[in-house]
Amino acid sequence: MANWASLFIRYYQPTAEIAVVGPEAQAFRKQLHQQYLPDAVVVGTETKSDLPLLEDRVAVNGQTTVYVCFNSACQLPVHSVKEALGQLEEARK
């Protein structure tokens, strides 16, 4: 029964795609990895990257920027881990 429940949750809640871009990208990624984020893909770079999730993502005004996306549709970019976690929580309600 637990396997069926797990499958249902995966179907009901899409995978979060989190892209972090900017000078503090690695520190932001570490903070995100300290949270329990099931079915989340977290990537980051301090510079430009050719990875599809990081493509066309930039550090807005030179600040480290976090993009929270679901099914390749991103929410507004934010500049803190707290705001990104808030977006994740809101999207999963």
Kindly list the domain boundaries of the chain, sorted by start residue: 15-91
Fold classification of 15-91 is: Glutaredoxin (3.40.30)
d(CA 64, CA 79): 6
Q: Checking DSSP bridges between strand 40-45 and strand 16-21, what pairing results, if any?
A: parallel
Q: pLDDT digit string (tens) for 28-54?
A: 999 999 998 878 999 999 988 888 888
What is the pTM for the complete model shown?
0.85
Q: pLDDT digit string (tens) for 56-89?
A: 899 999 999 999 998 878 999 999 999 999 999 8
